[in-house]
Structure 1
């Protein structure tokens, strides 16, 4: 479950925010759809900070939950609620995946992870490769992204509030047709910083 959550966090950071120099949103999108993408990008660029709660539901109905904090540029934290013992922290330099039970910490330079796109200062959805459709389902704008080469035959559906353009949910469908969803709620455009919120404890050299 933890690995699936980490994977979906990385997946969304690639799919929403990866700006490819050579690519644009799918040419088949009409002007209205492209305008929606611009509006969502503008809204996200206005809010450099975001925090709230998340619930992930896996293919078999298993769930994990916790709180998240994001402050661009560079900082992010996904903190799991008990019984999980996982913490994911980005401090602008590195990404750490921490298991407090096993007392382990895996470190990666943030520049070598997809999170460098999620945590960049400026976002532009109109330049995301693989967007296949932008539509309206109920109260949500739904963006469908497919990129077989980058995402190994997976599909990503992003659900934004049609009035506020806030991201509310994403669903990853893998190559086997299995869905993993992450819902965001109680979100607020601010982060109440506490000491150590985005702090990674680096090993002493």
Structure 2
């Protein structure tokens, strides 16, 4: 197993959580009496993500030890996302809208999580109440919006904090800049985005993958 693959495995679960959270925030009626300012920011973040039909961006995934992997993210609403890691990693994470799949080509292994049963996967369901899971965290900077997402009834799912910056040219006026995932073992993973491109051509083929496992298995 190469060093890059080991780095990835140390934060793969957090990356999977992040993959579920990025396209997840959908309209909802608040389930708690949040301050009006917080409600406005949460609603604006929800609307900004709703306004994204397709997106591509470069990303850097960094673990708590400062070790990093790079790649390209492709997103298409609803629920489809692809993390194409650098070639040396021989790794891929894809959600086709039904399941989240991690493919490790270096060892020819595939892991899948049904979205309906995945950590924080309920957020992909527009009928669920997102405000039950999302909380605004004040940053002290009017141009930065921070949304913490957690399911308090399932602390084992971890916590995701989404960070938006105000940008007039971004859908909804907010751009998702990075997110921080903290799993139940306190392993911290940060995924930073750059070169975001909106409304780019994306097809269902972008969320398909080649199965590296032998066709004949005993």
State the TM bucket, normalised to the shorter chain: 0.7 to 0.9
Question: In the alignment, what sits opposite 1:10?
Answer: 16
Question: How do 1:27-46 and structure 2 match up within 5 A?
Answer: 27=33, 29-46=34-51
Partner of 1:59: 64
d(CA) in 2 for partners of 1:170 and 1:160?
A: 9
Q: Secondary structure at the match of 1:193?
A: coil
- Find the partner of 2:117 among 88, 112, 115: 112
User: 45-54 or 185-194: which moved more?
Assistant: 185-194
Q: Which runs of 5+ in 1 are unaligned?
A: none
Unmatched 5+ residue regions in structure 2?
1-6, 168-172
Bigger mean CA offset, 137-146 vs 160-169: 137-146
Aligned to 2:163: 159
- CA deviation after TM superposition for structure 1 residue 177, in Å: 5.5
Runs of 4+ in structure 1 deviating by more than 6 angstroms, as ranges, are 121-124, 202-205
Equivalent-residue separation in structure 2 for 1:16 and 1:80 (angstroms):
19
Cα distance change on mapping 1:124 and 1:9 into 2, 3 Å:
farther
Match of 1:189 among 198, 207, 214: 198
Q: Which residue of 2 is the match for residue 169 of structure 1?
A: 178
Instruction: Tell me the alpha carbon deviations over residues 115-139 of structure 1, each in whole angstroms, 9 at most, x when there is no partner.
Output: 75565568975x2425263444374
Cα offset for 1:47?
1.2
Cα RMSD for the two superposed structures? 3.6
User: How many residues align structurally?
Assistant: 201
Per the normalisation by structure 1, the TM-score is 0.76
